[in-house]
Amino acid sequence: TYPVFYEKPLDFVIDACDTVTFKIHLIKYCLANNIPVISVMGAANKLDPTKFQIADISKTTVCPLAKVIRTKFKKERVRGKVPVVFSTESPTIANKEYLEKIGKQDSAIRKAKIPPASNAFCPSIAGLIAANYVYTTLLKNIKILTVEKPI
């Protein structure tokens, strides 16, 4: 069982947690309680914001974080559709000389060996894509007029 997060029902949850354990817990909570959710996968070490897209977690490619989540879901038999924002761009890696200066090569944790690097635009673009998904999903049955014609 899960604790109740809020007294009132939620319309939607955008998961942008960086910690895998929290991300999995939040998604499982939403699935168990029929709360619509979209999860943002890895946006660090990306350079091209045009490579982000939305798909079910089971259909993601390239993204290391999505792979970890898929593997954990399969192991724990988590069922349900989970739309995610992910990038089809392969993550960049720092030059060896920088890793020696900023990384902790003796660490057992990959993130400490190769710290994630984020630019200002990719994580924010991923969040805006998730927000747009929520917006369009919640308003899908409302006629919105445009200059040209109703959509």
Q: pLDDT tens across 27-86, in order?
A: 999 999 999 999 999 998 899 999 999 999 999 999 999 999 999 999 999 999 999 999
Higher pLDDT, 55 or 100: 55
pLDDT at 28: 95
Alpha helices, DSSP H, located in 47-93: 64-76
What's residue 106's pLDDT?
Answer: 74
Residue 141 has pLDDT above 90, yes or no: yes
Q: Quote the pTM value.
A: 0.83
> Please, what's the b/e burial string for 74-94 (b: 16 or more CB within 10 A of its CB; e: otherwise)?
eeeebeeebbbbbbebebeeb
Per the prediction, the chain carries an average pLDDT of 87
